[in-house]
Each structure stands twice: as C-alpha cells, then as structure tokens.
Structure 1
Amino acid sequence: MTTFKALLVENAEDKTFTRSVVERNIDELPEGNLLIRVSYSSLNYKDALSASGNPGVSRNFPHTPGIDAAGTVVSCDDDTFSQGDEVIVTGYDLGMNTAGGFAQYIRIPSKWAVAKPEGLTLKEAMVLGTAGFTAGLSVQAIVENNVSPEDGEILVTGATGGVGSVAVTLLTQAGFNVVACTGKDSQADFLKSLGASRVITRDTMLENKERPMLKEQYAGVVDTVGGEFLAQAIKSTQYGGVVTCCGLTASAQLDVSVFPFILRGVSLLGIDSVECPMAPRLRLWDKLAGDWKLNLLDSLTTEVGLDALDEKINDILKGQLFGRTIVNVNL
C-alpha cells in the first residue's frame, strides 16, 4: 500500500482546527478515475479559509486543502490521459470538499484536469495556478471588450495578492499603463518591479466615497477585493470602460448607484475560474504558456514545502503575503 505526505486539517473536540503534515494511504483518497502524483501546488486565500475550517469553503473534516495541483498521471481509468502525462488541475471541487493539492497524491475525475501546455513547466503552471488563471480571465475580458492601451490606465486592486500581482504583470506585458492599489505601502517597489506605472494606497482610492460618481480615470479595472473598493473603481471608470470582479476579501456587498452604468456605459463583468468550461479553459492555458507567458515568474514567487505551510497560511490570513507562494510537496 502506497503512503504519502499530506497536510491534514482536523476538527478538534473543542471545535478548533489543527493542521499537521501526516502520512496517508492512497486508499484513503476519494473516488475518481484519475490518480496524479503531485509535484507542485500553490497557496491561495481560499486554501487558508479551508485550512481554518471556514464552512463556506470546506464542510467535511479531516480534510486536505489545496485548490491547485500540477503533477504526473499515475493511472487513468477512462483513457483520457496516459501514464506519465503532465497535467494541471485548478478549480472545480479540488481542495474544497475533495482532498486537494497539499499532498503528494490526489485522485479526481479526469474531466477536471488539463494537459500541461508545452510552454510551461509544472512549477511555472503553479506560479500561475488559480490566481494566474483568474488574472488571465480578467485581462482577457478587458481586451476582448475592446479596451486597448491607447484608451488609458488600467487599475488593479489588491495588487500585491496572487491574482493582483499576476494581473499587473500580464497587463504590463500587453502594453497597458497599470495603476496598482495596495494596502501594503512597503510593497510599492515590488509592484513597480512588476511593471506598475503608479502605486496608490487604499486611503487614496477611498477618497470621496460618499459621492455617486467620481472623476473618470480608468479605461479598465481588475478588481480582486470587492466591497467599497469595487464601488470606487466603478465610479472612477471612464466612458465605455470595463470593470472585472473576481474577489470579496473586502466585502461581498456592493453599494453603488446605477449612474456609472447608465451615464457612462460602464460594464461590470464577473470572473469565475472555478467552473470555467473546458474549451475556454484550454484556450487560456495555451495563451498563458505562449503569447501571454510571464517574463517575471521568479520575481512573483516564494517556494515552500508542506512543513512550512502552517506559517504561510497564518500569514495570508493576516494579509502579510505578497506575490505567489508555491508549494513543492516533495521538499
């Protein structure tokens, strides 16, 4: 019987949640027709919520989080993949209520996996992960709705986070002037190293938030935090601009009038990477491995093993991480 290392979150008798790296058996994995030997995962805010027992993310414990995984096929019962194929898994139920990528093996339905494009290594795929894929969907939505670099600046909120930092880099490489908004004033140099032309603070962004409309500033917005920041972004978007929305760390509520939509023709587009259909999923991964491949992957990345995850989970919950944290499950 094959054993492997995994981060296991358990619900203690006093209703607190504990995390530890344990040995598990492959027989303990959930049902599925695709068995993968994981090489890398990545740490996302949703993983930290799962690892803390948040019932909105994971309901059944003990549980292994990790909404991302990249690795090698061990076996596939339906012949979708062959032994030795390198695959990427992001989204669906991985790491939520299905044992996730913070382990050396996962077993899933084969329809959740994507064949790794030739232009990416397994490690590079996890530098992107769900965060990079979400950023890619956001940038794609802006470009496909006819916003071009000549139209003006693009605002990215939550810019030091996983989605935000990849979005800053993607947009810069596409020729846009990027304004990065962050609550981490100390990370301005980091954001400029990714290509941001300007960095603004949260306080600056929230000025005059009582007004229903603000000065037109941005041709497009990638919002990763929601709440009053999303509202301010919408109010500040210029005529015909596009705002994408993919996060709610600030709030799930949106308090904004209809004025920006009916007086300036602003479009608000929701971004979902979890249930993204396979055809557009494959097309975007090909883009991220090809024309949109990031030049600054190493600058975005901190690499840790399973044993260091507990500390990093605490850090991301406190808002103390920036860029992308990838997990080498074999360290």
Structure 2
Amino acid sequence: MLTVSEKFTAFRIHKDDNNKISSGFEQLSLEQLTAGEVVIKVAYSDINYKDALAATGKGRILRTYPLVGGIDLSGVVIRSEDPRFQSGDKVLVCGAQLSELYDGGYSEFARVKADSVVNLPQGISLRDAMALGTAGYTAALAIQRMEDNGQVPERGPIVVTGATGGVGSFAINMLSNIGYEVIAFTGKTEQAPYLQALGASKLLNRHDIEIGTKPLENAQWGGAIDNVGGETLAWLTRTTHVWGNIASIGLAGGIKLESTVMPFILRGVSLLGINSVEMPLSVRAQGWKRLASDLKPSKLALIAPTTIKFADLPQAFDAYVEGRVTGRTVVEIDASLD
C-alpha cells in the first residue's frame, strides 16, 4: 500500500523582496503544499516552455509564491476525499493552473483539486500521458473544437504554425492520422525531415511568405491551428477558405490582431480561441479519451524522444528558453508506478 513520506523532494520556485526568482530542490511535507482533495504519488511530469520560463524567472508565470513547478503530472492516487477517485487509481493532471496558482508536478507527491484530475484512459501509460502533456491535450482540444464547428478534410488542407513546437508537432501528426492534408508553417526549414515524418505534406517557410495588406487575400487553406498570433494569425484570417476554422492557441508572434471583419462576414471564417486551462472535467476527460483512441499520435516516440531523471531537471530549462529544443521531454520521478 502506497503511503505519503513525511518529507519528500520537490522543485520549488521562490520570489524574494526584490522580485528576484530562485528555484531548486527542497524537502517538503504534505502540509506545505496547496490545498486539494486528492493526494497523488507522482510518476512523471514533463517540461513545457512555460515551465522553463517559470523556473528561470524569464517569464512571470506564477501568480503566487512559493510554488512547486511543473504544470503537468501523472501518477497514482494515495488518498482522496472525492468519491470519484480511489486509492490506487492511475491519474493525470494537465492544464489546471498547476505551477501558477497551485503546487505542481515537480514533486514526489502532489496534492491537487479533484476537479482537475482525470483518470488515465486505457491505452495510455503514465509516461505516455506526460509525453502528451498539456501540449498534446491542447492540440486535441483544438481539433475537437474545429470539428464541432464543421471542419472536415474535404474543405482543404490545414496549416499548422509553430510546427516544430509541442502543440504544432502533435497537431500535424493527429490531423494527418485522421485524414487531413497538413501544411507545416515554420522558420526551421532544417526540420523538414522531422515534420514530414509527422505527416506534413508540404512546408511553408515563414521567412518567404508575403503577408500582404488586402482585407482578403487568395484563399488557400481549409483551416489552421495557429501557435503564433500577431500578423501571422491576421494573415491566416485573410487566406482561409469559406467556412474554415482557425484555432488560436499561441502568441509567440505578438498579442495584437490587426484585421478586418471581412474574412468573418464574406467568407464565414471562424476564429476559435483555445483555452486548455479553464475547462470542465467532462471536456478534459473527453479530450483524453480521444488521445487514447482516434487522436492518439502514431509518432509519439518521435515527438517526445527524451526522458530525464528528476535530479537532472534544473539543467534542462535553459535550452527551452533559448529555443534549442525540438520535441518534448518527459521527467521521470518514479517509473515503478507505471
């Protein structure tokens, strides 16, 4: 029977009186973690760009300090005050304000709110769940919302911007697997073999694109999943076919959207905002069921090739901040639970 250690190791992030961020391993007790109804022995976590920003202080991600880092986790329930979860259940938590308002997954034990916990679907291991993580879940949510709004392969190819990132990589592979033609939009043309292996039929070099200034440009795409925002998103609205859907996820290219209403009125283009955090449990559970079935990536090992030990976590963040990482990294905390 699994029990909670009196003291356990966690990677915690602090801010001092001068707003300087520091982080590192500490010994904590359960009572020092933020409140929650479910206690989990953590098997795996992962590294997202957001995690690297938070841990290095390069981005103000946390809204309260100190907090344990890690926005995702998978593991086994130790105890639960909520009847939906029992001791021994394999579960995951992704995109639920961990390492923002609540202590996260970089810990041997976690205490989380029951409404953020999803039972691990059959067909996915605890490691698979973190290879997917928030990135995989977000890509699945984007596809689900587009399909709910009428997107079908017959309407034309789907452009995926930020194609080599986690969400972009998963989106390409998932869309390709369910019958869509996929075009990868990227500045990293040296990654062409990787993107083609995922299922991209064509690459667009973002440095070669003429954005244009017309309210409407030549319609080329059935829809898009956009991880960039800014002028790239505005260009997508002007170049998407009638009744196409654009799932807006990221803002690496800027937060402003300078457009006109013409794509929405004259072509019926829909702009769908994707928020993977503020989601009811029923939506989370449905997304993960699809990730275990028709949206399960066929190239998961290619997208998430790296597993590091918990002890090596602090040395891994700089590469993410500096944009030197392709593919996802899983953090192994207790593999024996899988």
> How many Å apart are 1:55 and its aligned residue?
7.1
Bigger CA drift: 193-202 or 302-311? 302-311
- How far apart are the structure 2 equivalents of 1:306 and 1:43? 11
Aligned to 2:106: 102
Aligned to 2:28: 24
Aligned to 1:295: 298
> How many Å apart are 1:92 and its aligned residue?
2.3
- How far apart are the structure 1 equivalents of 2:221 and 2:21? 43
> How many Å apart are 1:303 and its aligned residue?
1.5
- Once the two structures are superposed, the pairs formed by residues 263-282 of structure 1 within 5 Å of their partners are 263-282=266-285
Task: Quickly say closer, same or farther: Cα 1:204–1:310, change in 2 above 3 A.
Answer: farther
> How many Å apart are 1:13 and its aligned residue?
6.0
Residues 13-69 of structure 1: per-residue CA shift (max 9 Å, x gap) = 654322322332223212222100111112122222322346752133332221111
Residues 162-199 of structure 1: per-residue CA shift (max 9 Å, x gap) = 11110001001011111111222221111111011111
- How far apart are the structure 1 equivalents of 2:190 and 2:59? 33
| One-letter code aligned to 1:170 | M
- Once the two structures are superposed, the pairs formed by residues 110-121 of structure 1 within 5 Å of their partners are 110-121=114-125
The one of 254, 262, 265 aligned to 1:259: 262
| One-letter code aligned to 1:16 | K
- How far apart are the structure 2 equivalents of 1:83 and 1:26? 17
- Once the two structures are superposed, the pairs formed by residues 23-102 of structure 1 within 5 Å of their partners are 23-53=27-57, 56-102=60-106
The one of 133, 136, 143 aligned to 2:140: 136
Q: Report if aligned partners of 2:96, 2:277 keep a CA contact under 8 Å in 1.
A: yes
- How far apart are the structure 1 equivalents of 2:43 and 2:161? 31
* TM-score (ref. length: structure 1): 0.94
Aligned to 1:222: 225
> How many Å apart are 1:85 and its aligned residue?
0.4
Task: Name the SS for the 2:68 alignment partner.
Answer: coil
Task: Name the SS for the 1:46 alignment partner.
Answer: helix
Residues 298-329 of structure 1: per-residue CA shift (max 9 Å, x gap) = 11112122333334322222222222222112
> How many Å apart are 1:6 and its aligned residue?
1.7
Residues 65-101 of structure 1: per-residue CA shift (max 9 Å, x gap) = 2111110001112332111100111122212121101
Q: CA RMSD in A?
A: 1.8
Task: Quickly say closer, same or farther: Cα 1:76–1:171, change in 2 above 3 A.
Answer: same
> How many Å apart are 1:284 and its aligned residue?
1.6
Task: Name the SS for the 1:164 alignment partner.
Answer: helix
Aligned to 1:244: 247
> How many Å apart are 1:147 and its aligned residue?
2.2
Task: Name the SS for the 1:215 alignment partner.
Answer: coil
| One-letter code aligned to 2:162 | G
Aligned to 1:192: 196
Gaps of 5+ in 2: none
Task: Name the SS for the 1:123 alignment partner.
Answer: helix
- How far apart are the structure 2 equivalents of 1:309 and 1:72? 21
The sequence identity of aligned pairs, in percent, is: 38
- How far apart are the structure 1 equivalents of 2:216 and 2:309? 47
| One-letter code aligned to 2:235 | Q
Q: Report if aligned partners of 1:135, 1:167 keep a CA contact under 8 Å in 2.
A: yes
